[in-house]
Structure formats: structure tokens, C-alpha cells
């Protein structure tokens, strides 16, 4: 059965079901016994559900060590920026152990954190810093945009034998959507076409998927049929689906909440400029956040973020672009 | 500095004690207005806001022990320090309301107050991360060679971050003029200290950690500004003399929740109940803390000692309330920043 | 006068001259009094030259704090990976303080570290992880490829009022080249054309610049005239020079020692696919490291790195590419 | 486990003492061959290699205190542990020579030995970072509930990393079955401990840091395997019993330089002189350390106690040399990995 439920509840449901299914799955973090999370400790006990001190390096290192030793820890790291105090453990330890040990060691752990809290959280808490984790060998990264994907990607993350960074979007926490009951797995490395279309390919992740869909709706009124693709995982990144779409539309706009040079957008642009070049009829346009820290004040915060207007303008730009080469 | 100087510096004359009380009241009234804003002007304050109510004695007692040229660094729970250092409360409120007239022109917000001119170097919103920065400011002070010190404030929870450990070791080694004031309010958000700190779990004070760096560590009653002042003054004198850092565990009880609610779009922000009640149902603990509220306690002490009349006390409160009303009015009537100002100050 | 000197000596000369010029410049780090570095402590004294414990978070945080308080510290962080244990201090603190304080605070500090030590240093010490620091507002990043640039970029970094990450390449340390005596400043955000050419634009950084130049030499024999550009700083990134070159050549190959999705290459590809699209006559080809941790064994290490052969092949590919659009 | 068990476990019978000596000799001879390789077969070893000579007594004494099912984690200075755990030295040498037949098939190299089957979980080349990982393995052991423990080895310098501090606090709080063995060799590369550690600078032992976590901290002579064994056995018993972690500061002196030279292309790798001489010109210190060399010292002790004859001692040495010759021969005659194998094992 499919019910409507909030994004955050869908994530928790996945963790809960996996914990019920496999007693090696653990849940640790600073907030795991907080309000709304009581079910975990109640049903799985204080051994498998543990509150950690404010010590991210220890939390993540402990998770890696427990994973080497056979457990499958999920670490709730709260916010993406908090990973930065433990960055070495995220990008230079557990993700390399399988390789460095010649295949002896496995490190199945999930690091869950929120990002993109552009709601007045100011300079140090609002980043869309997933770009930092792309291109890191051995690390997988999921960025769900809907409750169903959030549930399915979390379940897949927990079953994966590699470290997975699961980044949920803070501005989507209470957004509701249909979510399948029971086991629901969304495969990694498979982009989802959130809206089919034939004129322009629009790729977006997380919160910007919804901005892109809204823009697509408006553009439809102008007679422009936009296809909206959500990669869902950015490592692995499903370039094939994007290339297939561009082969059809010839036009690509990339939307990203990150700053331009730390974005998924730039990575996709690079792939398509190499592997989809012959399909392109217009420049690949990126609609990203501007290159600033996020200011506290709403006027300034909104100014630097991608939004519907900017997406619509970019699509008009690529549709209006003259085709071909000098 | 001689031992006599230290003692004389730690005995405060009447006017300084009253002044300390006045700052405590100003901090409290400021925080009350911030809290009320969530109800009275919903949407005006954004993001996450952390109040200093309950810590006034600790803040004011500490800052009474330093002199111009000294510097202060803190965390996201940062409203109290600049008030006591003389920062304009209207500019502070405007900052918290995100206005162009704010202390940081609306860029920083509640968690990131800075008043460089008054020696308030700023904050980090990431737990523990301003501790090395305060240590570095103390390195600069040591190099200046004018005997200036840096007070570095942080919470009990921050002592669980590696940054705490690395900084105290380095400061001890370099004999830096820094005083580490840990405000132990028994909670990290809603986690009780004994749930996350091994010293606390073993019934030992957190100041024990000083042993790991072979520096003095003291635990004090942070609800009494005179006690705080005395302990910090001794540590400051030690730092000025070149003998190095001290760790002070100042025991306080925050009287509000950790911060306002963490609300995604559509959910109104508000200031929830204290975690002792909301999470642990421990009304008795919270009521006891209320009875120990440092602000009325210090007032009672001053009155009892004949250092403050009831009328003077009332007038201090009235003035503080009027000041904070002006701050709110100023902030509300100030413009929001131009949107395009977002592109300024990215690089110096 | 211009003398030949090794890359590492040129860097040290810049630090030395800046310390002599401005007494606020400090040098701290774990190795600053090591062999070959004696001159610093001897001439500037133990106050301005300090050995730090193995505590990168403290080292960098201390530097940021000293910078706020008026000093201009240079932190020798030894190796890029060691920054990861202090990542929060690198990308989420000092780089944001000028902005968050509404312009009150300045944080002039230089973080110096080596990268790319693909000489058997294995999984955790060989990364070309500069991609992590791109697109981070408020942070500048220099990647010198020659002794002269190394000296000039270091001097500019020390005089800059912002945090600068200065990443030198370990495999270049003892490479010699001509270096101007005395004051020598290389501006940030100005790419250098290391070899002019008209047929293909080749962009590379650090050690790959020399691979690119060697490839260009070989290609000249095949009658292909390659222009080699070194951006020198990747934040700010001089896209204009690259666009001007592509406007001339119509063909772009990007060489990068980083893994593809964490590379400067992908960022440049994204910029050119948007702003230089109409000049392009062929796909933008990236020659990057393969998506693996670096193995210890030389056979495997070499296999995944970009090299002359791969660059030559990529250039032939773009030259042979059919022009235009379907 | 009762007190009597503890004592009996800490009294080692003759055969175990001789076995310990044998492992010490094997480690020493392995490291000697690694060192000689730089001269005899230049280019065969790449990157950075860190030897355990001088720490043999500490390693072997520690590992004699654990039993099958227990686990071990360490740093880049990792050759000693697997040898004592029974790992095939030919596979180890082949790994250090980068061969397809290596313990990690040539992926890891000298700094990253792993032998999961024997409980050697691996290493981190980044200072301090395996400490939380060892702590996590202990969490897994606690959950398994079979009384297994984890020994976590690291250097004195590593106690300057935040990871050390965060891990010990967490382990103390969760009463994890982990023993932290800090091998204090008085140096971090070439920095002397008192230059970078505030306890050391104040003349206090580094084990003092245990106070910050309210756990036992002991400082022992790491050059005597029986002393080490006893201290680690007590800590292991404590860990098994559920009482939590112990910090053991084991004082050793490394007899080689920190590591081989750090050489960019074109400069031949070699093993330089010890920093006490190369950097501080302190020949006397180094000579004294040589006189205290734990390997001949333990041999002399065993002979003196009548537990080992000279002939037995010689045959242990001969066997070890022959074993290491076989290891070198095996490694040299083994093929390098296929280049394209670089693309295997990226993901599990
Ligand atoms: C590295 C990091 N982890 C987690 C958080 C989330 N967080 C914000 S405040 C806080 C509690 C800090 O407690 P304490 O240091 O005692 O200060 P208090 O808020 O009680 O004054 C936490 C966990 C953070 N900001 N940074
Ligand atoms: C985070 C980090 N900083 C610096 C280094 C460089 N480094 C490698 S080993 C070492 C010394 C470590 O000393 P110690 O912990 O005492 O171990 P020892 O080598 O003496 O056994 C240093 C500084 C590193 N690997 N990681
Ligand atoms: Mg607290
Ligand atoms: Mg050491």
C-alpha cells in the first residue's frame, strides 16, 4: 500500500524497517533519542541505539570501526556541516579500506545529515556542500528529493557494503508524498525522470527538483516541454539517463543549490560536454547558488539562491539560443 | 602583577558591583525581548537563536575581570557578552531582526554577533570551533607583548570536541594569555552532561580535564557574579603574568530551552519549554533552577548588603526595559538589506 | 636577476622575504624548524616561528584567531590530507568571517600543504584533493606549477587579506626553474599561457602542466599546435583566458590529477560548455585520474594517473572529431 | 574474571616467555630486512616506511595478553603486530615490496597492513584516526557479548589529535572493552614530546590524560615484555569484565629514524640516522637507548633465569633470519600486480 507521509518520517521508516530486519544495523548520533525518535530506543534497545557526545570524529570513526567488525551502523550526524569536523573520517578512511586491504575489509555504514537549511540559519549552517563528497573513491552519496525516494534510498544505503552519505534536505523535512509501505528499495545510480518532456532537459537535486518542476509547469504554458531529471544519487551518478534525455532535447539546464564551482551541475555539464556534445544545440546553462556564504537576512539569502524565475529564464535562454557552431 | 594586586583586583567596589547588576539586568531584558519577538512579531527572527538567560552572572562576572585591550570570543549563544562590553543593543537587536542597521548589517544574525571595536571577536556556530580561534587571538596578544588576555567562552558540550583538547594543550605549551570559561549548564541541547561526559558520569567535575594539560582547573558557582569575578580575575592575572591558561568550569543553569524550535518552512518558530521539563518531565529541577535565578539573587544580595536600594534596583530594571524597547523599535523600523548586498564582503 | 632554483626553495624564499618585510607575518606548523628550514627560526625568532603539536584543528584555528587579531600567519600543514582533520576550520570558519561580520573582520592567513605524492605513498597520502576547496566562498586556492609561480603566488597569498590555501605539488619539489630575485608577485586569478598554440587548448595544473607541455611537444611533431594554459589559482579561476583560447582553437582538452568528479577539469568544462559553447568544434575531453584510491604498487598507481600518452590520445580525439551538430 | 585469574594470567610459563622472545626476534629481523632493502634493492620499496625496532617488547608483551577473538588496530608503524599475531611474513614482505602476492595484494603497502582473519583490523596513516576505529571495533565486541577486547595502538604524538580525546571520552562513557596502548617513543617525527605535549613539558607522564576521562592511566617500561604483559593483562581483564577502557603509556625508544627519507622523484630512498643524532646531535642519548635495546635485554634475562640456553637463543635468531630471507626471496620473486587491477576493490 502507498500512504502519504512526510519526507522525514519516510527516512525514519526505512531505518526502522532495516533495524527490524537485521540486528547488525545500529543507530547512533547526538539526536537519536530525541522527540519523534523514541521508537528506536524503545524497540531496539540502548545497545543498538546510542546517544553520542558532540564528537563527530569519534562518532564516525566508531561507526567505521564497528563496520569493519561486522556491524552496519547508521550515524545521524544532524547537519552536513558537522561532518566537516570529521571530514578525514568521511573521505579518507572507511571509504578506502576495502581497496587498501585488497578486498579484506568492508565498511558498511551510513552517514545521515541534513543540508541546505536556507531559512535564516546563516553562514555556517546553510551549505549545500555535497560537492565535497563527489569524486571521492569508495564513498556513495544519496540526495533524495521526495519521501518515497528518501525511504528507498535509505534502505538501499543501509544494505550497501560501502560507506554511504545520505543527505536529506532540511527544507523538505515536512513535505509529504506517497510512500510505499514495507520494503521499498531505490537503486543507487539510477536517475529518475520526475517529469517527461521533449524540448529541454532540466536536471536538479533535492529541494531544487521542486523548483524545477514548478518552472516546468510555467514553461509548459509557454509551450516549452521540459523534462525534469533527478539523479537521486550523485555518486554513483547516472549520466546515461541524462545523455539519453539530451539526445532527445538537445538542450540542458542544470539547477543546483550549491555554489557553482562546488556543484553537481558543473560535474554533469562536464560529462555532457564530453559525451553528449554532438547532441547539444545550445550552451549548457547552470543555475546555481551565487558564490557567497549565505547571509542571515532573508533578502540576501533569497537573492543568491536558484529559484523558479532564474530557471525559467535559463530555459528560455537555451531555447532561444542559436544552434550550431561558427 | 603581585599577589596584593590580584586580591585588590578581585575586591570590587560598590559602584562596580551595581554596574555588574545593571549589565545582568540588561542581558536578561534583552533576551526576554528576543524571546517575546517570536510571539509578538512572528517571522521577524529567522533561523536558530540561543539565549543567555541564566548565565548573566557568569558572563558579567567574567567580563568584569578584564580591561580595555583584552578580547572575548564565544559561541552561537552570544548575546550576553557584547551587551556587557558596551555594544549598542539597538544594533544587536537589529542584527537579530536581520536589518541593514544591524551590528553585522544583517549578514550574521543571532548566532554570529561581532563587535571588533569592543574586542568581541565573534563566534562559531559549530561546537568547539571558536576555542582554537580564541587561543590564536591569545597568541597574537602574546606577540603584542602588552599584557592583554583573551577570554574564550564555550559550553560543557564543546569540551567533547577535539578542538577543545588540541587548543588547551597548545595554549598550555605556549603559555598563552587565555582563560577558558566553560559555561556548564548541564545540557548539550537535551543531552544531560553525564550522558556525554566521562568525568561527569564518574561524578567528577569537568574542570578535571585541565589535568590533561597540566594547567589549573577550577569549578565555580556561575550564578554568583562575585565568585565568578574572583576566579576569572585570578586566571586573568595568571595569564597576564605569562604563566599560561586556566580552565574555569562555571556552573550555570540556562533558564530557556536550548534554542527556538528548529522549524522547516511553514512551521512557526517559537521558544519551547526547557528540556528539563519538555524532555525529562523534571519540573522540580527546573523550578529549583528558577529559584536560584542569578539576577534576583544578586539583587537581593546587593540590597541585603546595603549596596543597592529598592528604588535604585527598580530604576535599573525600568531603564533596561526602556532601552530594550528602544532596541526593538529601532530594529523593527529599520530596513532589510538590499538583496544585492549579498554579493558584498565575500572577499576582504 | 633571475636564478635557477628548486620549486621548494622558491616557496621558502617567498615566505622568508615576506617575513622580513612585515613583522606580522608568522610561520607555524609541525615541520617549520626542520632541516632546510633553520633560517626561519634563526632570523625571525621563536615567537614568529613556532613548532605546533600534531593538532591541525588547533593549528588552523589558532592561525584564524591570530589573523582576526591582526597577524598574518602562514601555517605549514605539510600534506593536503592533514587538512581534512581540520576541514571545518578551512572551509566553514575564517573564510566566512569577513562576510558574516558585515566586513568587520579580516582573516589573512595562508595554509600551505603539499599534494599529489604519487610515489608509493598509497591510499591516504596521495590525493589531489584541491577540488574540495573550490567553490568555497571566501577561500582562495593557488596551485603553482613552476618555481617562479610558486614564489610569486606565495608572496601574493601572504599579502592577501583572505584565507588562502597554497597547495604545492610533491612531485615538483626539487624541479628547478628560473626565479626572479627579490620581490616577485604573481597575481591571483590570472592564468598563464605556458605555451602558445592555435589548434587545441590544453589546460592543466601543477604536475600535469609538465605532462601537458611534453605532450604538446610530441604533438607539434604531428603538426598539431597546442596551447597550454595553467590557471595557477583555481579560486579565483581565470575563465576569460581559457575562453579566449578556445575562441581561437575551438578545441579543449583538460588534464587533471584529481578524480574526474572532484577535478578542476570538470569545473572548467562546465564554464566553457556555457560561456564558450559557440566556439567549440569538438567535445571537451577530460584526462583525469581514474575513480579509485591510489594503490601502493607502482603498476596500479601509474595506470590510473593522467600521462603523456593519454593526453596525446585526447588531443588526437578532439582534432579528429567531426565538427558541428546533428 | 576473578582476581586470582588475573594474577595467574599475568604469570607466564617458560614456554610462553620463550615464545615472546621468539616473536621479538622475528619482528627485529623483519625490520632489519626492510631497512636493508633500501640499500640492497633500491626502488623496490616505495613511499614511506616506519619501523617498529625498539618497540618489540611493548608489542609482543601487549599481544601476549589477548586471546583469539580479540582484535588489534594500529598506525602506519604497523609491521610488528601482525608478525606477533601469526601473519605470514612472506606475504607481509611481498606487500611492502608492492607485489600481487602481498598481504593486501599490493594495494596497501607498508603503512596499511591488514590481516582480518587474525584480528589485525588495519591502520590509518593519518595520525590519531585509527583510535576511534579501534573504539568502534570495541563497540561491536561489546554488542557481540562474548567478552572480546580490542587493543588500540598509537604513538605519543597521536594523543595531540582531537580524535584521541573524543574516543577516550566515548569509550569511558560506554564502558567499551578497549585498551589504549600509547607507545611513547619520545618523538613525533623529530619533535620531542616535551615540545608538543603540555603534560610532558610540565614533567608529568602522558598517562595523566586518563584523568580527563576518569579512567585508569598507567605509565610503564615498554622495554620489558613482562612488565608490558602484566599491565596490559590487567587492562584487558578490566575491559573484558565490562569495566571499560584503560590508557597505557608504554615507554619505548625507536631505534631507527621516524621513517625512510621523504624523497621526490629522482632522489633515492634510504633509512636515515635517528633524529636524536641527525637533528639534536645527541649521540649519548641514542647510545644509551641502544644499550637498553629490549631484544638482547630480554634474551639476557631469559638466559640469566635459566629459561633459555645460549644455543636455543642462537637457534631462534637463526630461524628468524632464515624466515626473513625466505620472505625477501618470496617477495622479490613475486610479480607486480596487473596495472588494471587498480580498478578492482573500489567498491565492496
Ligand atoms: C560540531 C557540531 N556538532 C553539533 C552541533 C549541534 N549543536 C549546536 S549547539 C549544541 C549543544 C552544545 O552544547 P554546549 O557546548 O554545552 O553549549 P550550550 O548550548 O549548552 O550553551 C549542539 C550539539 C554543532 N553546532 N556543531
Ligand atoms: C593528521 C596528521 N598530521 C600529521 C601527520 C604526519 N605524521 C606522520 S607520523 C607523525 C608523527 C607521529 O608521532 P607519534 O604519534 O608519536 O607516532 P610515532 O611515529 O612516533 O610512532 C606525523 C606528524 C599525519 N600523518 N597525520
Ligand atoms: Mg551546555
Ligand atoms: Mg612517537
Give tens-digit pLDDT for A95-129: 999 999 999 999 999 999 999 999 999 999 999 99
Nearest-by-CA chain B residue for C64: B133
Q: Give, for ligand 1, the residue of B157, B195, B254 to mutate: max count of ligand atoms closer than 8 Å to Cβ.
A: B157
Nearest CA in chain D to C293: D346
Whether residues C302 and D339 touch (CB distance < 8 A) is answered with yes
Q: Higher model confidence: residue A22 or residue C38?
A: A22
Angle of helix D14-40 versus helix D89-96 axis, rounded to 10: 30
Label residue C321 by pLDDT band (50, 70, 90): low
Instruction: Give, using CA atoms, the residue closest to atom 8 of ligand 1.
Output: B127
Ligand 2 proximity of D158 Cβ (cutoff 6 Å) = yes
Query: What does the pLDDT look like over D266-308, one tens digit per residue?
Result: 888 999 999 999 999 999 999 999 999 999 999 999 999 999 9
Give the number of the atom of ligand 1 that is nearest the alpha carbon of residue B77.
21
Measured CA to CA, the distance from residue B300 to residue D106 in angstroms comes to 74
Residues in C 137-176 with any Cβ partner in D closer than 8 A: 170-174
Cβ count near A34 (within 10 Å): 17
- DSSP assignment, residue A162? S
Residue C101 has pLDDT above 80, yes or no: yes
Interface contact D47, partner C, CB < 8 A: yes
How far, in Å, from the CA of D182 to the mean position of ligand 4? 9
Check if B274 contacts D (Cβ < 8 Å): no
Q: Do D214 and B196 touch (CB under 8 A)?
A: no
Tell whether D144 is within 8 A of chain B (Cβ): no
Q: How many CB pairs under 8 A join A and B?
A: 136
Main-chain phi, psi angles of A202, to 5 degrees: -120, 125
Number of H helices, E strands in chain B: 14, 8
Q: What is the pLDDT of residue D262?
A: 82
B chain contacts of residue D163, beta-carbon cutoff 8 Å: 162
Q: Which ligand is nearest to the CA of A57?
A: 1
Per the CB < 8 A criterion, the answer to whether A266 and A260 are in contact is: yes
In degrees rounded to 5, what are phi and psi of residue D52? -100, 5
pLDDT category at A321 given cuts 50, 70, 90 is: low
Measured between beta carbons, the chain D residues lying within 8 angstroms of A188 are none
Which atom of ligand 2 has the smallest separation from the CA of A88? 1
Contact yes or no for C87 and A87 at CB 8 A = yes
User: Residue B284 Cα, ligand 4 centroid: separation in angstroms?
Assistant: 51
CB-CB neighbors (< 8 A) of D211 in chain B: 208-209, 211-212
pLDDT value at position C6? 97
Instruction: Please give the share of chain D, as a percent, with pLDDT higher than 70.
Output: 97
Give me ligand 1 centre to Cα B201, in Å: 19
With the C-alpha atoms ordered B76, B81, B87, B90, is the resulting torsion angle positive or negative? positive
Look at B191 and A30 and tell me if their CB atoms are within 8 Å: yes
- Element spanning A8, H or E: helix A7-21
Is-contact D339 D100, C-beta < 8 A? no
- Domains of chain B, earliest start first: 3-331 (3.40.50.970)
Q: Which of A125, A168, A184, A210 is catalytic?
A: A125
- Which residues, in sequence order, are CB contacts of C12 under 8 Å at separation 6+? C36, C37, C39
CA angle B282/B285/B288 to nearest 5° reads 145
Read off the pLDDT of residues C62-82 as tens digits, 9 standing for 90 and up. 999 999 999 999 999 999 999
| Interfacial A residues in 188-247 facing B (CB < 8 Å) | none
Give CA–CA dist B232/B96, Å, rounded.
29
Strand B246-251 relative to strand C2-6, pairing: unpaired
* Average of per-residue pLDDT across D218-245: 98
> pLDDT per residue over B277-310, tens digit each?
999 999 999 999 999 999 999 999 999 999 999 9
How many CB atoms within 10 Å of residue A244?
A: 17
Let me know if A125 is a catalytic residue: yes
> pLDDT for D296-344, tens place per residue?
999 999 999 999 999 999 999 999 999 999 999 999 999 999 999 999 9
Total CB pairs under 8 A between chain C and D? 136
Q: How far apart are CA A299 and CA A317, in angstroms?
A: 26
Task: Band the pLDDT of C34: cuts 50, 70, 90.
Answer: confident
Q: Is the pLDDT of residue D2 over 50?
A: no
pLDDT band at C35 (very low <50, low <70, confident <90, very high): confident
Task: Report if pTM > 0.90.
Answer: yes
B80 neighbors B55 (Cβ within 8 angstroms):
yes
Quote the pLDDT of residue D11: 62
pLDDT of residue B3: 40
CA distance A209 to A230: 7
Q: Is C297 within 8 Å of D336 (Cβ atoms)?
A: yes
- With a CB cutoff of 8 Å and minimum separation 6, the contacts of D124 are A93, C124, D75, D76, D130, D133
* pLDDT tier, A322 (very low <50, low <70, confident <90, very high otherwise): low
CB atoms inside a 10 Å sphere around CB D211:
20
| C50 neighbourhood in chain B, CB within 8 Å | 174
Question: How far does residue D162's CA lie from ligand 3's centre (Å)?
Answer: 19
The interface residues of chain C toward chain A in range 192-221, judged by CB-CB distance below 8 A, are none
Say if D160 is an interface residue toward chain C (CB within 8 Å). yes
Residue-level pLDDT at B10: 46
User: Chain B closest CA to A245's CA: distance in Å?
Assistant: 33
pLDDT band at D3 (very low <50, low <70, confident <90, very high): very low
Query: pLDDT (tens digit, 9 = 90+) per residue, D192-230?
Result: 999 999 999 999 999 999 999 999 999 999 999 999 999
Q: What is the pLDDT of residues D139-182, one digit of tens each?
A: 999 999 999 999 999 999 999 999 999 999 999 999 999 999 99
pLDDT tens digits, one per residue of C218-250:
999 999 999 999 999 999 999 999 999 999 999
Query: Is D5 a residue whose pLDDT tops 50?
Result: no
Q: Strand, coil or helix: what is A70?
A: coil
CA–CA dist B319, D219 (Å, integer): 60
Amino acid at each position: 500500500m502507498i500512504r502519504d507521509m512526510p519526507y522525514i518520517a519516510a527516512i525514519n521508516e526505512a531505518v526502522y524497517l532495516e533495524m527490524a530486519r537485521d540486528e547488525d544495523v545500529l543507530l547512533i548520533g547526538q539526536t537519536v533519542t530525541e522527540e519523534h525518535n523514541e521508537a528506536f530506543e524503545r524497540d531496539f534497545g540502548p545497545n543498538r541505539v546510542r546517544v553520542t557526545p558532540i564528537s563527530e570524529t569519534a562518532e564516525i570513526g566508531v561507526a567505521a570501526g564497528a563496520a569493519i567488525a561486522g556491524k552496519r551502523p547508521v550515524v545521524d550526524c544532524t547537519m552536513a556541516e558537522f561532518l566537516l569536523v570529521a571530514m578525514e573520517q568521511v573521505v579518507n578512511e572507511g571509504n578506502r579500506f576495502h581497496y587498501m586491504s585488497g578486498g579484506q575489509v568492508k565498511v558498511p555504514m551510513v552517514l545521515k545529515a541534513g543540508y541546505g537549511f536556507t531559512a535564516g540559519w546563516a553562514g555556517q549552517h546553510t551549505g549545500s556542500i555535497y560537492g565535497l563528497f563527489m569524486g571521492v573513491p569508495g564513498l556513495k552519496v544519496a540526495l533524495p528529493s521526495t519521501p518515497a525516494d528518501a525511504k528507498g534510498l535509505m534502505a538501499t544505503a543501509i544494505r550497501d557494503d560501502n560507506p554511504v552519505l545520505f543527505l536529506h534536505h532540511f527544507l523538505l523535512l515536512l513535505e509529504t508524498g506517497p510512500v510505499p509501505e514495507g520494503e521499498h528499495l531505490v537503486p543507487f545510480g539510477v536517475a529518475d525522470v520526475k517529469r517527461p518532456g521533449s524540448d529541454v532537459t532540466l536536471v536538479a537535486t533535492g529541494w531544487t527538483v521542486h523548483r524545477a518542476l514548478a518552472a516546468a509547469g510555467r514553461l509548459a504554458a509557454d509551450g516549452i516541454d521540459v523534462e525534469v531529471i533527478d539523479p537521486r544519487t550523485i555518486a554513483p551518478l547516472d549520466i546515461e539517463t541524462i545523455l539519453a534525455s539530451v539526445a532527445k532535447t538537445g538542450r540542458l539546464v542544470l539547477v543546483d543549490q550549491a555554489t557553482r564551482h562546488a556543484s553537481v551541475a558543473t560535474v554533469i555539464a562536464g560529462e555532457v560536454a564530453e559525451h553528449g556534445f554532438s547532441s547539444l544545440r545550445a550552451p549548457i546553462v547552470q543555475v546555481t547558488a551565487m558564490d557567497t556564504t549565505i547571509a542571515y537576512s532573508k533578502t540576501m539569502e533569497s537573492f543568491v539562491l536558484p529559484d523558479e524565475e532564474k530557471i525559467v529564464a535559463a530555459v528560455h535562454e537555451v531555447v532561444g539560443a542559436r544552434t550550431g557552431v561558427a | 602583577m603581585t599577589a596584593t594586586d590580584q586580591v585588590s583586583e578581585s575586591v570590587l567596589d560598590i559602584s562596580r558591583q551595581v554596574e555588574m547588576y545593571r549589565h545582568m539586568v540588561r542581558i536578561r531584558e534583552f533576551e526576554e525581548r528576543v524571546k517575546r519577538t517570536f510571539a509578538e512579531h512572528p517571522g521577524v527572527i529567522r533561523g536558530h537563536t540561543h539565549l543567555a538567560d541564566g548565565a548573566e552572572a557568569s558572563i558579567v562576572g567574567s567580563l568584569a575581570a578584564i580591561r580595555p585591550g583584552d578580547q572575548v570570543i564565544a559561541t552561537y549563544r552570544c548575546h550576553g557578552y557584547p551587551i556587557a562590553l558596551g555594544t549598542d543593543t539597538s544594533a544587536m537587536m537589529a542584527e537579530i531582526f536581520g536589518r541593514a542597521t544591524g551590528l553585522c548589517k544583517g549578514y550574521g544574525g543571532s548566532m554570529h554577533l561581532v563587535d571588533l571595536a569592543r574586542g568581541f571577536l565573534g563566534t562559531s556556530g559549530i561546537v568547539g570551533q571558536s576555542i582554537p580561534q580564541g587561543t590564536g587571538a591569545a597568541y597574537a596578544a602574546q606577540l603584542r607583548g602588552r599584557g592583554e588576555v583573551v577570554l574564550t567562552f564555550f559550553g560543557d558540550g564543546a569540551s567533547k570536541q577535539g578542538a577543545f583538547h588540541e587548543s588547551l594543550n597548545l595554549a598550555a605549551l605556549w603559555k598563552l594569555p587565555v582563560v577558558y570559561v566553560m559555561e556548564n549548564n548541564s545540557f548539550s541541547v537535551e543531552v544531560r552532561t553525564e550522558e556525554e561526559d566521562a568525568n561527569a558520569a564518574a561524578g567528577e567535575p569537568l574542570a578535571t580535564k585541565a589535568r590533561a594539560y597540566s594547567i589549573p582547573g577550577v569549578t565555580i558557582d556561575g550564578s554568583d557574579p562575585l565568585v565568578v569575578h574572583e576566579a576569572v580575575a585570578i586566571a586573568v592575572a595568571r595569564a597576564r603574568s605569562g604563566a599560561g591558561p586556566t580552565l574555569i568550569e562555571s556552573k550555570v543553569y540556562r533558564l530557556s530551552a536550548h534554542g527556538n524550535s528548529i522549524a522547516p518552512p511553514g512551521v512557526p518558530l517559537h521558544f519551547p519549554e526547557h528540556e528539563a521539563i519538555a524532555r525529562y518531565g523534571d519540573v522540580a529541577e527546573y523550578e529549583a533552577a528558577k529559584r536560584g535565578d542569578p539576577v534576583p539573587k544578586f539583587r537581593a544580595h546587593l540590597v541585603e548588603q546595603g549596596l543597592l536600594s529598592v528604588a535604585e534596583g527598580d530604576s535599573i530594571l525600568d531603564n533596561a526595559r526602556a532601552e530594550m524597547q528602544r532596541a526593538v523599535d529601532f530594529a523593527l523600523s529599520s530596513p532589510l538589506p538590499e538583496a544585492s548586498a549579498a554579493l558584498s564582503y565575500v572577499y576582504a
